[in-house]
Structure 1
């Protein structure tokens, strides 16, 4: 099993950071790439035409390795909203059709579909989680499957829920989607990089990922996978790089109607971004070196004793088969006040997120048993204070 990797980061020693689901800390190696890239423009004569495409090709290759896809099926995007806008533009659906979504997702995976509802008369079906704690994850998955019908054209969810780590059965969703002729679109921002995801196994039609969380990269740079459904689609923007033969700078004035092959048509303009793109490439290369399953195993070993003690305090945590090991929500019993606990976190310099009625805890390889012991003690002190 992997050992603690904190030495690869520049995390301050006086904080307990259990919040990778909010934003990952910067790897030293990624910061070094970014610093070198900033100074690379001191002499612009060193930037050659081929570098515009080598930069993105490296990122595509790293991401494709991570999700077991081909480089040609991967695109460079600035954000989840951008990647999902490409999906929305190319969705074959209209009035009378519906989109099934797990409710309370991150807004980017909702607003794209709300816009379709307003513009095309498509119905968005929000499947709320059960209120009861017992069997919550299993019953939520079952409710989503039940909501999918012959008029469903799109199922949109994460692999784990962004607010509390509830795990969704994507294979079952895929099977049901095939039965009704729907596509499956996954926001992988809170899972890909820390939870194994195999495109050949899950067969999503699109997988959209921001880069600044579990992919360990910079903000404003992400990656996406687009399957066969989108092979001949129309991108939301027309930039010179996503057109055929754009590598030939001397021929750019001979305008092309055809796009680059594969998912490159969905690349954001200036995707070569000579600072952010190589930074995200290096970050994903490190994730590939670690291996997402090893990250899951490390987080499980680290958090398991802590979770059992939290349950003994009366906290509610999802059943193991229906939550990620890298991200899980803690719902408080009546005898622990949320505001008092948050104040203790602030005083103790413990960094987690509160999402809805859940405290979201998200460890990674830079965390140690001492970090989990620190937050557990804070829960105990808050309990006594009530």
Structure 2
């Protein structure tokens, strides 16, 4: 049986939806949430107060979801924006370096690369190699909790130790983890996550976490009206004060509509224990990996569920065509970067493994 009721989602009839790592289907409840946003937006100053109250309520709910304090949670438009804000805030000096995996996602690496920071490519799946590559000029270890490319889970505790060994920041992208497994964000100095995948939200807002206990002096290099403390009118002749918490991540208006949609998603999430969701989706990944192995179809995802996430990835030179062929047979997977990605969430079931395998093997033969 599915853990989530598929009827709660806008999943087209007759389709198997296994592309949570790319986009999850929309909850029917989000239509009502967005209608409520539209009404609040249309009711003048009183409505605007409701919009802002929903943002603050969301920060508190996301903090509980990540087991941290409300003041540590801010909102950005995307992981790329949050990472850029962080990179721009640091006083980089010639010789400073950052350790990243060669296959890390662009939202994490591109802000560093364009800033001209030295990138040292180290396999994050080998914490001992990370520790060996770190030196006194290492400013940051940047990593996804779960790789978008092959669904490999990384040992964040070991990477935390490697970063601490040289006094570096540990920055984590939880996008491929948040929503199906428990998150303890305090392992990181800073962390981010998109919300339109397993979090069941929509694009336009992302989570930004600032570990104020570990990095109490952090401040962004730029600001806007929302990220500063003001009275009726800012005194620009005086030094502007930033908001004292992670609200300083948001420089201008928060994306109110995606916040309303994310509230509806959290209403759904809070009906289920994270450990139960993890057990459900990883039972599906293990079952699919076993079927692929029996069929002689190699996967680049580690078979041990302690080392992989909620996806199964297959490297293939015709990935785009294969995924199109699967869709034509009623199975929605994801493609890109030379691999087929099949991702599970709570609305999927073991009974869907057969149609997934049938669609995959037929598309591979096209």
TM over 0.5: yes
The DSSP-based 3-state class of the residue aligned with 1:361 is: strand
Matched residue, 1:7: 7
Structure 2 residue 64 is matched with structure 1 residue 65 = yes
Task: Find the partner of 1:378 among 338, 353, 359.
Answer: 359
Contact 1:231 1:263 in 2 (8 A): no
The DSSP-based 3-state class of the residue aligned with 1:360 is: strand
Matched residue, 1:313: 295
Q: Relative to structure 1, is the Cα distance of residues 181 and 38 closer, same or farther in structure 2, using a 3 angstrom cutoff?
A: same
Q: CA deviation at 1:382?
A: 4.7
Structure 2 residue 209 is matched with structure 1 residue 234 = no
Q: Relative to structure 1, is the Cα distance of residues 35 and 179 closer, same or farther in structure 2, using a 3 angstrom cutoff?
A: same
Q: CA deviation at 1:45?
A: 4.7
Give the RMSD, CA atoms, in angstroms: 2.5
Structure 2 residue 21 is matched with structure 1 residue 17 = no
Q: Relative to structure 1, is the Cα distance of residues 269 and 340 closer, same or farther in structure 2, using a 3 angstrom cutoff?
A: closer
**Count of paired positions:** 361
Task: Find the partner of 1:183 among 131, 149, 169.
Answer: 169
Structure 2 residue 198 is matched with structure 1 residue 214 = yes
Contact 2:323 2:334 in 1 (8 A): no
Q: Which consecutive residues of structure 2, in runs of 5 or more, have no partner in the other structure?
A: none
Matched residue, 1:265: 248
Q: Which has the higher contact order (CA 8 A, sep 6+)?
A: 1
> C-alpha distance in 2, partners of 1:175/1:141?
9
Q: How does 1:1-386 map to 2 (within 5 A)?
A: 3-48=3-48, 50-51=49-50, 53-117=52-116, 122-127=117-122, 137=125, 140-200=126-186, 203-228=187-212, 230-244=215-229, 246=230, 251-254=232-235, 257-271=240-254, 273-314=255-296, 315-316=298-299, 317-321=301-305, 323-331=307-315, 338=319, 341-382=322-363, 385=365
Q: Which consecutive residues of structure 1, in runs of 5 or more, have no partner in the other structure?
A: 130-136
Q: Relative to structure 1, is the Cα distance of residues 321 and 145 closer, same or farther in structure 2, using a 3 angstrom cutoff?
A: farther
> C-alpha distance in 1, partners of 2:262/2:351?
30
Q: CA deviation at 1:187?
A: 1.0
> C-alpha distance in 2, partners of 1:340/1:240?
47
Matched residue, 1:132: none
The DSSP-based 3-state class of the residue aligned with 2:81 is: helix
